[in-house]
Structure 1
Amino acid sequence: MRLDVLDNGYPRRTKLLFALIRLVSRQPVPDAARIVFYRPDFYGDRAKEFTHEAMRGPSDWSVADRELMAAYVSKVNESSFCVGAHSATSRLAYQDGPRVAAVLADLESAPVEEPLRSTLRMLGKLTREGTVTADDMRVVLSAGASPQQVEDALAVCAAFNITDRLADAFGFEVLSPEGFEAGARYLLKRGYR
């Protein structure tokens, strides 16, 4: 159920900003952006900072890899908006749409390196079951991921498990392919701030 707050819960100044964004971009303001303006003191400012650090902070994972992680976690959570947004961003970052599609269709046969495949497997288990074991971590490490890469991947997983649930709870509208593409260009240029 879409909550009315996403359409009407803003002060006049924010509504004017949304109108300007729509005028310039020729796309509606995505609900993921709208929600950070709803309660910036409670959720928005903190979420933007945490997500930006997870997705664009220093890491041995590329931006494309982290966007793919976000899309994969969102697929496990069945969050249509987030799958669309982050698969579009990952496709653009990799410049390889078939690779992203292959991972989302069947991780085991997808053309990705083993450290990434093993990490995605672990993130999928954590998302589905809410827990991972020391043995799960050993598998990821033995596949070639570093302890820091595991930590970075867990930050992406945490950010998108929260965002996916908000997307579903607030009934985020799924954008057109053009809307997702515009959002992907924005995310790659500006990040999550």
Structure 2
Amino acid sequence: MPHIPLPGHLPGITGLLEYSQESAQPIRVLTQLLLRGPSTLTPGERELIATIVSHQNECRFCTAAHTAAADLLLGDTETCHIMKQDIDAAPVSHKMKALLKIAGLVQVSGKAVTSESIAEAKHHGATDLEIHDTVLIAALFCLYNRYVDGMATVAPTDPDFYKGLGERLVSNGYNRLPNGYDHLK
């Protein structure tokens, strides 16, 4: 049960963003920019970063939501599953593996990111901007995971809920739906 009254039909971060639309606006703008804006990392790769951080933070809602979005964007359901078990075994580029490891270090602590982990990413072709964006996305999802879990939001157990949410994230990004969310009641 959430610590404050939230819209019952909007679990996870969606209910929090509807609860306080004023604070939600800059959150949505930043997330849209980082996960869907121009980048040399694909939207699917950026969703992998959100997924690995959420998974390592044990945030059930965010892990399921971003896994669903990544699965759709990547066109498979195996990449996220494998990545959560072993980044080195994931069917992604060596550059992406290095960036995912950096994201995992950010999840532990910003100070856990080492010169060696940065050098490894650069060795595999990561640009300074890709490293910057990886760290920022990872840090941002640490905030979201703590926001969602710290407010004790509801995390549905029905996989179909997350498939629908993943489809919304792919089609609408992180923008508020133009007509709100009443249709989800």
Structure 1 residues 36-47: aligned runs within 5 Å: 36-41=17-22, 43-47=23-27
Question: Partner letter of residue 178 of structure 1?
Answer: D
Shift of 1:31: 2.6
Find the counterpart in structure 2 of residue 148 from structure 1: 129
**Unmatched segments (≥5 aa) in structure 1:** 9-27
Q: Deviations over 1:145-169 (max 9, x none)?
A: 1111112212211221110001110
Distance in 2 separating the partners of 1:39 and 1:30: 14
Find the counterpart in structure 2 of residue 71 from structure 1: 51
Find the counterpart in structure 1 of residue 15 from structure 2: 34
Contact 1:54 1:159 survives alignment (8 Å): no
SS of residue paired to 1:111: coil
User: What is the aligned residue count?
Assistant: 173
Does 1:139 pair with 2:120? Answer: yes
Find the counterpart in structure 2 of residue 20 from structure 1: none
- TM-score normalised per structure 1: 0.84
Shift of 1:47: 0.5
Distance in 2 separating the partners of 1:78 and 1:157: 14
More helix per residue: 1
Q: Deviations over 1:2-58 (max 9, x none)?
A: 2132248xxxxxxxxxxxxxxxxxxx42331111122222x2111111111111011
Shift of 1:143: 1.8
**Unmatched segments (≥5 aa) in structure 2:** 176-185
Shift of 1:84: 0.4
Distance in 2 separating the partners of 1:181 and 1:53: 23
RMSD: 1.5
Distance in 2 separating the partners of 1:85 and 1:40: 20
- Between structure 1 and structure 2, the one with the greater Rg is 1
Report % sequence identity: 25
